[in-house]
Amino acid sequence: MSDISRLPGAFEQYWAWQLKGACRGVDSSLFFHPPGERGPVHDEREDVAKEICFHCPVRRECAQYALAARERYGVWGGLTEDERQDLVRRSRTAARERARR
């Protein structure tokens, strides 16, 4: 489950970006893998999803949302689950390094 405690609230100005997403109207199964999907089929589906994100006018907002909410599944803002986890991990490591100085 996503951690929504970090999110700004229910005000429209925080969420209106979603109306501009290139993924609106696209089958959401393209962005979320079915159970057991692996290998080339998984990679090809993710590549198609990321291509849609690449051309999206709200890609940055989407990625920021997914990172803030710690979205556990799917492609958000052109980032896969693993890519988001790596970014969070690197950010935490960098913060620890700064704190040690």
Q: Are 21 and 56 in contact (CB under 8 A)?
A: yes
Binding residues: 23, 53, 56, 62
Residue carrying structure tokens 């609230």: 9
Virtual CA dihedral for 62, 49, 38, 91, nearest 10 degrees? -30
Residue stretches of the annotated binding site for [4Fe-4S] cluster: 23, 53, 56, 62
